[in-house]
Amino acid sequence: ILTVAANTASRTYGATNPLFTGTITGIKNADNITATYACTATNTSPAGTYAITPTLVDPGSKLSNYAVSITNGTLTVTPAPNPNILSIRPAGNTSMVITWTSISNIVYRVQYKTGLASTNWINLAPDVTATASTASFTDNPGSTPQRYYRVVLLSTVTPLTPLVVVVNNASRI
């Protein structure tokens, strides 16, 4: 019996798939049989489990000499971490730059509200597609005396509880 089994693997939502591996046992006579391992999950596939499927490669046409047993592995995609606001800094007299942790190629939205009692978050545009492990957005709050910011990940995964940061506009001399 020739047995091929894909190993299990895991990654975070938004990350690229790891290199998939596995084991082959039962090869006789130094037959040149190998395997490749593939998965349908992409970096934007929702958190969950996905089959890692082995495919035998037999350039010498020797597989007909074997009874073959194939066992799939499992890729576990875990939810993306909450985007954490790293800083909110003035940029000039009227702008604020919000910087947060991110995952490259994932889309984020910055939102604000003007009072704690409000349940209405206002979207700031445009959405930001991260290109590195941090991303930023420049807000122009004008004469708004206070804004409460949050950054949310836009995806098909379960919504995350965002971190809320309070920023009071300060006058500059």
State residue 164's pLDDT score: 52
Please tell me whether residue 63 adopts helix, strand or coil conformation: helix
Please tell me whether residue 39 adopts helix, strand or coil conformation: strand
Residue type, 56: L
Structure confidence by residue, pLDDT tens digits, 27-81 = 999 999 999 999 999 988 889 999 999 999 999 999 999 999 999 999 999 988 8
| Burial per residue of 97-131, b for 16 or more beta-carbon CB atoms within 10 angstroms, e otherwise | ebbbbbbeebbbbbbbbeeeeeeebeebeeebebe
Structure confidence by residue, pLDDT tens digits, 73-108 = 999 999 888 899 999 998 888 889 999 999 887 889
